[in-house]
Amino acid sequence: MTYLLGLDNGGTVCKAALFDLDGCEVAVFSEQSPVHTPKPGYTERDMEALWLTNCACIKGVLEKSGIAPEKVLGLAVGGHGKGLYAWGKDGKPAYNGIVSTDNRAWRYPENWKKSGVFDSLYPQLCQQLLPCQQASILAWMKDHDRAVYDNIQWVFSVKDYIRFRLTDEAYYEVTDLSSSGLMDVKNNKVDPHLLSALGIGEVYEKLAPQRYSSEICGAVTKEAAALTGLIAGTPVAAGMFDIDACAIAMDITNNENICTITGTWSINEFISKTPVVGTQIAMNSLYAIPGYYLIEECSATGAGNLEWMIENLIGGISVPEGKSLYDHINELVDSIEPQNSDVFYLPFLYGSNAHPLAKAGFIGLTSYHTLLDMLRAVYEGVAYSAKSHIDKLLSVREPPQAIRMGGGAVRSPLWVQMFADVLGLPIETVTGVNELGALGCAMSAAVSVGIYKDYSEAAGHMVRISPPVYPDEKKSLIYAEKYRKYNAVKSALDRVWGEFEV
């Protein structure tokens, strides 16, 4: 048998997964990639350490699986979008990697809007400008650390940086480039005049040649082979932004379906032959499939909120023997009916889809409430945030028959049911695979080496969709009223977030 390797670099964890040609997940190996917060609003990580973590994950999954490296036909890398991983002219990382939850450059999108620059560029950008995009971070860096800015040779997203280290060839794959604020998305090109209008014209020379996700972008070098255990010369495909990779792994290969991905970020999207502009929709980017745009609504308001709560607030929970912590938390949350808890949670630990300075918080706590109410509020708040995005998507298209759901939250049947109840639509998931981002990348490798002619054929062989989980009509009515209150709380706080300016 032969196999395909997918690498997925999330905001906090690196994962390597091996798949057979039918999409069966043979083995997974993961390691934490520590994130540092040197100042409020800053999230960074050591780029050299990240590279070595990727090497360890590749070596780990090969050893865990027992598969000989010559059986790996190809690989591709995916990762979180936005952020900045800059390579220096001195042959080293130019700075720490900046993660997509970073908010240091929040003033720049605000200023571009106030000055009219954004309005003039929107017909080309086809997306809102965000603090965590490379356009904003590079503008910040030019003003605050000019020596680093001038030393940059290549502007990379995380997966393009890791692929560069694997192959020693620099390319910028279009799903990430078109999400960076640096590209004329409407016309599928980099426009130096657009960059100059943003005050970062020098960046034009720092952008590597562009490639699509299933194009070959080099091969594993001897040096990388020694660190990873792969065979030198193994083909490396371009890969893609992890939200595209998850969508590909959910067989989003036509414009019929909508998917929601609930990891650290809440990603909600569908694909279209044309961009959707002049509406509530925040983001249009180029999809992994040439000829399609990815229509996206997103914010860093996903399941990372639960991870933070586990790490910081609930260390004292006693987990019954034989049960996992997450299964026990699901039971605790399920022990309270939605109508019996009136605590609300704003899931804005890492960012917001309400106000650029919004913070997370529990609203409505009294001495009557317990940790269980807070846990349920976190689950609900994440679902409400996703609903606010999906409502915007549905304002420009017909509802699908079901929403396809991915990300860490799908491991909780309770959360999947809650999403169905909150959204009022059936939920479908992918069966047999835990690491959707890695599967999407493996599918990229499969197409790049000619196993399948395109992503649609690859999905026909490698993706299996579950039967739908249907909403509970009574609970949907309860959640509709709670969602109204959630929005009232969120809106009321918009006027005070300016007091938190840093």
- CATH 3.40.50.150 at 82-156+172-207, yes or no: no
Dihedral angle over CA of 378, 464, 392, 212, nearest 10 = 110
- Could you tell me the mean pLDDT of each successive run of 10 residues in the chain, 502 residues long? 96 94 97 91 96 98 98 97 97 97 94 97 96 97 98 98 98 97 96 98 98 98 98 98 95 94 90 93 95 92 87 77 88 91 87 80 91 94 96 95 93 96 97 94 98 97 96 97 95 82 58
Domain 305-429+472-500 sits in CATH at: 3.30.420.40
Spatial separation of the C-alpha atoms in residues 85 and 99, rounded to whole Å: 8
Residue 304 is predicted with a pLDDT of: 85
Q: Where in the chain is the domain with CATH 3.30.420.40?
A: 1-81+215-250+436-466, 82-156+172-207, 305-429+472-500
SS3 track for 317-340? CCCCCCCCHHHHHHHHHHCCCHHH
What pLDDT does residue 274 have? 95
pLDDT at 501: 65
Phi-psi region of 366 (alpha: psi -120 to 50; beta: other; left: phi over 0): beta
Instruction: Evaluate the CA torsion angle 390, 454, 166, 18 in order and state its sign.
Output: positive
- Please report where in the chains the tokens 């690859």 appear, as a residue: 458
Q: Cα–Cα distances in Å, from 353 out to 127, 305, 425, 451, 491? A: 14, 14, 22, 40, 11
State pTM to two decimals. Answer: 0.88
Distance of CA 32 to the CA centre of its chain: 16
CB 19 within 8 A of CB 460: no
Fold assignment, 1-81+215-250+436-466:
Nucleotidyltransferase; domain 5 (3.30.420)
Query: Hey, how many other C-beta atoms are within 10 angstroms of the C-beta on 328?
Result: 14
Q: Is 7 helix (H, G, I), strand (E, B) or coil?
A: strand
